[in-house]
């Protein structure tokens, strides 16, 4: 846990006139994104109630794991509550297209046993997680193996499907250079360990061992909902057998592995996400427009580009970073996953943005992406934004492992929350009421 000295300085509500990046924000955005003045002085004996302090949900959007419906109560907990994540559907489409493009480009050699069937296996992270659902759907949609269910592509694990008779997926055809191939999802499962932790890399490594022992020569492509599981399968089997593996997150080890045959990954602009997670809190604490340093330049010159770096949903009070495909063509540009984004790398003036204390949790301290990429980025940005952050690492299984360590919310000026399950926002907000 990282702990830094807290400077006991009273925040002053400020009205700041900002110059927009390439122009002023529209009147609509200016009026709808204006934050409440959050004179959060709890750490210095102030009177702001916990229920009124800035709150940022991140990485896991409050929603029903059964239906995907957003938890609007959690997203509107107070006037300074936001969600920060990435555009899951856009990223999922990119991943699926990346896999399809690779297959098309290498059609002459990718069918390892020459049976005319391009078989892939799929590691699913969490069947109840919206991001996992989107990525499964994205791959199946791009490859043509998806089956409609309840208005969307079925994201249910297929189990073993060597014969192509599974109900949740279907065989597809692909014509390349005058030859017709069958594309088949040979197997897929949720990578959940015996203790209940999802997105489990070790489970994925075991799964590829089982699959390869049963039908290894039929596996032509490995696809994973994230790089943690993807790299486990790559190192356990796919690398030695020269089977291209595709993941998601652009973790540094996965990016480096592209030089060794890892097929590709998706950068979800973790640098932008980490910045936004803390920036929305900073703006609320300073009592300035939430767009400050985001779509409108702050005094230091920090500014992102809407439509290129992120998009904002007013209805959902959510910021979504935009994704980039990382392949053999561009992977060298992504080798340092913890480097701050140049557009938002300027130090804030401590006289205008004095030190404040933030409680922030990572749902699973062992999660590869969050621990090796997201948290190091947060730790870089908290210094730039003059925030003293207490980082709490969970076990990935129970909310109580995290919430039990929020014994005194009044000690903090703001909160950033990464839930174990998207359904469980009330486990945290109940502590702040």
Find all residues with CB under 8 Å of 124, minimum gap 6, and list them: 132, 136, 155, 157, 188, 189, 190, 191, 225
Domain with CATH 3.40.50.2300 in the chain: 107-243
Can you read off the two tokens belonging to residue 131? 């991001």
> Cβ atoms within 10 A of the Cβ of 329, count?
10
User: Cα–Cα distance between 45 and 65 in angstroms, integer?
Assistant: 39
SS3 (DSSP) at 231: helix
Closest CA to 285 of 75, 7, 37, 10: 37
Closest CA to 124 of 207, 55, 182, 45: 207
pLDDT score recorded for residue 21 = 58
Closest CA to 207 of 183, 185, 190: 190
| Cα–Cα distance list, 133 to 124, 203, 380 (Å) | 8, 18, 31
- Residue in the block written with tokens 């409050």: 62
pLDDT score recorded for residue 13 = 35
- Residue in the block written with tokens 């065989």: 171
| Count, residues in the chain | 433
User: Cα–Cα distance between 131 and 59 in angstroms, integer?
Assistant: 9
Task: List the strands of the sheet with 387-393, edge to edge.
Answer: 310-313, 318-321, 81-86, 55-58, 414-417, 356-362, 387-393
Are 208 and 224 in contact, with CB atoms under 8 Å apart?
Answer: no
Rg (the chain; Cα; Å): 22
Find all residues with CB under 8 Å of 409, minimum gap 6, and list them: 50, 53, 359, 415, 431, 432
Q: What is the pLDDT of residues 228-250, one digit of tens each?
A: 999 999 999 999 999 999 999 99
User: What are phi and psi for residue 260, nearest 5 degrees?
Assistant: -110, 10
pLDDT score recorded for residue 46 = 55
User: Cα–Cα distance between 52 and 48 in angstroms, integer?
Assistant: 7
pLDDT score recorded for residue 226 = 97
Please list the rounded mean pLDDT of every run of 10 residues in the chain (433 residues).
37 36 38 40 63 97 90 98 95 97 96 97 94 96 96 95 97 96 98 95 98 97 98 98 96 96 96 98 98 98 97 97 96 93 98 98 94 96 98 96 96 98 97 96
Domain 107-243 has CATH 3.40.50.720: no
Are 141 and 185 in contact, with CB atoms under 8 Å apart?
Answer: no
Are 247 and 229 in contact, with CB atoms under 8 Å apart?
Answer: yes
Q: What is the pLDDT of residues 275-317, one digit of tens each?
A: 999 999 999 999 999 999 999 999 999 999 999 999 999 999 9
């Amino acid at each position: 846990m990282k702990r830094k000295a807290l400077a006991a300085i009273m925040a002053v509500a400020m009205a700041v006139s900002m110059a927009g990046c390439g122009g002023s924000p529209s009147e609509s955005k200016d009026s709808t994104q204006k934050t409440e003045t959050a004179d959060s002085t709890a750490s210095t004996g102030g009177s702001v109630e916990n229920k009124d302090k800035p709150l940022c949900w991140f990485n896991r959007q409050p929603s029903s794991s059964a239906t995907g419906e957003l938890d609007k109560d959690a997203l509107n907990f107070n006037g300074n509550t936001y969600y920060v994540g990435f555009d899951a559907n856009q990223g999922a489409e990119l991943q699926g297209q990346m896999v399809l493009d690779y297959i098309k480009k290498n059609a002459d050699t990718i069918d390892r046993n020459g049976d005319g069937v391009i078989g892939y296996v799929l590691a699913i992270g969490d069947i109840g997680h919206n991001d996992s659902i989107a990525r499964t759907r994205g791959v199946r949609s791009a490859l043509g193996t998806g089956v409609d269910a309840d208005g969307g592509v079925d994201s249910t694990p297929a189990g073993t499907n060597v014969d192509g008779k599974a109900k949740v997926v279907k065989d597809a055809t692909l014509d390349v250079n005058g030859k017709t191939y069958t594309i088949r999802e040979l197997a897929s499962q949720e990578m959940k360990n015996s203790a209940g932790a999802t997105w489990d890399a070790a489970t994925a490594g075991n799964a590829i061992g089982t699959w390869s022992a049963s039908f290894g020569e039929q596996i032509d492509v490995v696809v994973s909902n994230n790089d943690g599981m993807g790299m486990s399968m790559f190192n356990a089997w796919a690398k030695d057998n020269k089977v291209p593996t595709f993941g998601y997150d652009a973790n540094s080890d996965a990016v480096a592995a592209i030089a060794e045959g890892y097929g590709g990954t998706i950068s979800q602009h973790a640098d932008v996400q980490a910045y936004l997670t803390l920036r929305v809190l900073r703006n609320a604490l300073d009592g300035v427009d939430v767009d400050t340093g985001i779509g409108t330049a702050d005094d230091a010159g920090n500014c992102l580009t809407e439509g290129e770096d992120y998009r904002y949903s007013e209805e959902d009070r959510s910021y979504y970073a935009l994704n980039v495909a990382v392949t053999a063509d561009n992977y060298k540009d992504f080798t340092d996953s913890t480097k701050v984004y140049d557009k938002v790398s300027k130090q804030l003036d401590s006289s205008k943005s004095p030190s404040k204390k933030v409680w922030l949790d990572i749902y699973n301290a062992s999660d590869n992406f969050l621990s090796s990429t997201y948290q190091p980025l947060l730790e870089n940005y908290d210094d730039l934004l003059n925030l003293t952050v207490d980082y709490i690492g969970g076990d990935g299984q129970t909310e109580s492992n995290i919430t039990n360590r929020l014994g005194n919310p009044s000690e903090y000026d703001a909160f950033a929350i990464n839930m174990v399950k998207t359904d469980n926002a009330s486990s945290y907000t109940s502590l702040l009421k």
